[in-house]
């Protein structure tokens, strides 16, 4: 276990979010991800994407069940709890998700990513630091980076994505977290913020998702379609930046992914994580 970095003793900033509020912000990020459309192959309020076993109602039940658990993870982060504690809380959150959805895995990856980020946000605040991209990543690395790098799997039962990551040599969620979420901070957030300056919020979030599609070795895609499917998804992600009508391109890609049975759920989880971090900065509440 990593030795925790020295904590600051200064008073926290006045705008500190309580663990309960951080949990609500995390659940709201999942809601914003769900309501976004078009999202290639993914569940939204418009349709179920490439899924036959879940729809928007399943996701709503899941995110409401998860909200208090994100608060528990934030409280653990605020007291500088070890990774083993976060892992146990993540297992409880997954059990609540499965109970709410009748056994359907809607948010396993999001529990892992958002759970770590809410804990890092709470730890950052408890140390008297302002919430920023850099401080979140620094606290994540200082508190739990060594445990994440020690090849500990995400909480809960082995997933199809984890099996696909091993089969195809992809890093998966654990490696992404051990590197302090470069897909969130170096890919999705820059794309989101740059696109927001040029247009509307929906378009900015779609741009962030396509940036993730271009860069992420999405293990959900690998599980469903193998390396060829991942190459297709990443190619569509890169092509988005050059599309004359980005929204029409997103709709066409959605139809294509549904027809092929492809659902880049790992990228959707990372988009929700990016929306959570962006909310902390105060650009969108």
Q: State the CATH number of the domain containing residue 183.
A: 1.10.4200.10
**Is 8 domain-assigned?**
no
Q: Whole-angstrom Cα distance, residue 259 to residue 33?
A: 22
Q: How far is CA 130 from CA 13, 134, 282, in A?
A: 7, 10, 12
Residue 229 is assigned to a structural domain of this protein: yes
7 domain-assigned: no
- Tell me, what DSSP letter sits at residue 154? P
Between 108-126 and 265-281, two packed helices, what is the crossing angle to 10 degrees?
20
Domain count, the chain: 1
Q: pLDDT of 64-80, one tens digit each?
A: 999 999 999 999 999 99
Would you put residue 41 in left (φ > 0), alpha (ψ -120 to 50) or beta? left
The answer to whether residue 13 sits within a structural domain is no
- Average pLDDT estimate for 159-168: 45
Q: Is residue 9 part of a domain?
A: no
DSSP label of 24: H
Q: Is residue 113 part of a domain?
A: yes
Tell me, yes or no, whether 11 lies in a domain: no
Q: Is the CB of residue 59 less than 8 Å from the CB of residue 269?
A: no
pLDDT confidence of residue 173 = 84
- Asked whether residue 8 carries a pLDDT value surpassing 80, the answer given is no
> Residue 75's domain spans which residues?
19-281
Please, which pLDDT band fits residue 171 given cuts at 50, 70 and 90? Answer: low
Tell me the whole-structure pTM to 2 decimals.
Answer: 0.88
Quick check: is 6 in a domain?
Answer: no
């Amino acid at each position: 276990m990593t030795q925790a970095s020295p904590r600051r003793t200064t008073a926290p900033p006045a705008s500190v979010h309580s663990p309960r509020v951080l949990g609500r912000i995390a659940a709201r990020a999942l809601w914003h991800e769900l309501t976004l459309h078009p999202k290639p192959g993914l569940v939204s309020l418009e349709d179920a994407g490439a899924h036959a076993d879940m729809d928007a109602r399943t996701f709503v039940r899941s995110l409401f069940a998860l909200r208090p658990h994100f608060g528990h993870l934030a409280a653990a982060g605020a007291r500088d709890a070890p990774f083993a504690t976060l892992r146990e809380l993540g297992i409880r959150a997954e059990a609540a998700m499965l109970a709410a959805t009748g056994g359907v895995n809607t948010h396993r990856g999001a529990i892992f990513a958002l759970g770590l980020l809410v804990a890092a946000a709470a730890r950052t605040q408890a140390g008297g630091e302002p919430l920023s991209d850099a401080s979140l990543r620094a606290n994540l690395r200082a508190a739990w980076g060594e445990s994440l790098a020690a090849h500990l799997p995400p909480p809960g039962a082995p997933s199809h994505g984890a099996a696909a990551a091993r089969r195809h040599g992809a890093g998966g969620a654990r490696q992404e977290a051990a590197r302090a979420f470069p897909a969130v901070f170096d890919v999705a957030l820059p794309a989101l913020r740059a696109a927001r300056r040029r247009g509307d919020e929906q378009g900015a979030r779609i741009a962030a998702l396509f940036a993730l599609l271009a860069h992420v070795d999405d293990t959900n895609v690998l599980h469903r379609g193998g390396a060829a499917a991942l190459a297709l998804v990443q190619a569509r992600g890169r092509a988005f930046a050059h599309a004359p009508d980005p929204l029409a391109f997103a709709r066409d890609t959605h139809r294509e992914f549904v027809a092929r049975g492809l659902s880049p759920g790992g990228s959707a989880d990372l988009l929700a994580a990016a929306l959570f971090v962006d909310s902390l900065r105060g650009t969108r509440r």
